[in-house]
Amino acid sequence: MSLPLSTAASARPPKPNAAAFADGLRAAAGSVFMIVLVGSYISIGALAHDLGFPVVWVVLSTILIWAAPAQVILITSLAAGTAPLEAGIAVGLSGMRLLPMVVALLPVLRAAKTRAGALILPAHFTAVSMWIESLRLAPALPRENRIAFANGLAAGLVSGAVASTIAGYYLAGVLPNALVAAMLFLTPMSFLTSAVRSAQLLSDKAAYLIGIVMAPLLAYEQVGLDLLWTGLVGGTAAYGLHRLREALR
C-alpha cells in the first residue's frame, strides 16, 4: 500500500492536544470508513439480536474487540454451540493481522518523548478503518499531536460503531432481511478490498489468494482449526514464494 510513512516533521507548530483530538473526531465523521462501519455494525447488532445475545454484551464486544470479523466469528460460533476455547482460538487467529498493523502504525504516531503507556489506546483501537485513516492523515501533523489525533479519530469511529450496533440490535425485527444481509456483506467486502491495498510484496499477494481458497476448502472438508492451518501452511508457503523469488534475482 502506498502509505505516507514519511517521518519528515511538519513545519506547523503543535496544537493543544484537545484540539488535535477534536480534529480526529472531525476526521472520523467525514471518513468513508464511517459509512462502512455504520452498515457493518448495524448488521452485527442485528445478527447478535437474532442469535439471542444481550445488547450490553454486543456493545461491549464492539468496544473491547473492535474488529468486525472477530465479532462475527465469536457471535456465530458461540450461538452455534462451539466450545468457548475453540471460538477463542478462531478469534485469536483472525486477530493476528493486528500485530503487523500496530508495528506499522506506532512509529508514525510516536514522538521522541512519548511514554509507552500512551501507546496502549492507539494500539487497542487499531483496526482497518482507524489504521488506514491514521496512516493517511497523521503524517501531515506535528508529531506531538499525532496520538491525540489518532485517539480522537478512534473515539469518533468507535462511537459511530457503538451507535450502529445499538441501532441494528433494536431494528433487527424491522429491517428487511435483504438489507441486513447486504450490510453483513460489508465486512468481508471491506476487508477483501483493503487487504489488496496493503498487499505490497509477493508474499502478501500470494497469501491473500491462498487464504481465500484454502480456508473454505479446509472448513468444507471439516478439517479442524482450518484458520490455523490456512495461516501457518498457506502463509508460510506464500512467504516461501517471496524468498524463492528473492533468491532467483
Partner 1 sequence: MSLLGDWWPYLILILAGFLPNEVWRMLGIVASRGIDEESELIIWVRAVATAILTGVVSKIVVFAPGALATVPLAVRLAAAAAGMAAFFVMRRSVFAGVMTGMLAVLTGMWARGG
Site for partner 1 in 100-129 (CB under 8 A): 100-104, 106-107, 116, 119-120, 123-124, 126
Buried b / exposed e over 212-244, threshold 16 CB at 10 Å, is eebbeebeeeeeeebbbbbbeebbeebbebbee
Q: Which stretch binds partner 1 (CB under 8 A): 12-20, 21-29, 76-84, 137-145?
A: 76-84
Closer residue to partner 1, CB minimum distance, 19 or 52: 52
Closer residue to partner 1, CB minimum distance, 25 or 47: 47
Tell me the three state secondary structure of residue 11.
Answer: coil
**Footprint on residues 155-184 left by partner 1 (CB under 8 A):** 177-184
Closer residue to partner 1, CB minimum distance, 28 or 180: 180
Could you tell me the smallest distance in angstroms from the CB atom of residue 8 to partner 1?
17
The verdict on 92 binding partner 1 (CB under 8 A) reads yes
Write out the three cell numbers for 168. 441494528
At residue 28, φ and ψ (nearest 5 deg) are -65, -45
Helices within 80-201 (DSSP H only): 84-94, 98-109, 120-124, 128-137, 143-171, 177-184, 186-198
Q: Which stretch binds partner 1 (CB under 8 A): 17-25, 135-143, 151-159, 219-227?
A: 219-227
Closer residue to partner 1, CB minimum distance, 22 or 199: 199
- 151 touches 159 (CB < 8 A): no
* Locus of grid cell 500512551: 118
The verdict on 6 binding partner 1 (CB under 8 A) reads no
**Footprint on residues 16-45 left by partner 1 (CB under 8 A):** 32-33, 35-36, 39, 43
Tell me the three state secondary structure of residue 202.
Answer: helix
Q: Which stretch binds partner 1 (CB under 8 A): 13-21, 22-30, 149-157, 186-194?
A: 186-194
Q: Is residue 43 exposed (0-12), middle (13-18) or buried (19+ Cβ within 10 Å)?
A: buried
Single residue of 209, 224, 244, 245 touching partner 1 by CB under 8 A: 209
Chain-centroid distance of CA 105 in Å reads 13
The verdict on 244 binding partner 1 (CB under 8 A) reads no
Spell out the residues 6+ positions from residue 178 whose beta carbon is closer than 8 angstroms to its own: none
The verdict on 67 binding partner 1 (CB under 8 A) reads yes
The verdict on 234 binding partner 1 (CB under 8 A) reads yes
Single residue of 53, 146, 151, 157 touching partner 1 by CB under 8 A: 53
Closer residue to partner 1, CB minimum distance, 13 or 107: 107
The candidate with the shortest Cα–Cα distance to 154, out of 31, 1, 7, 9, is 31
Closer residue to partner 1, CB minimum distance, 145 or 187: 187
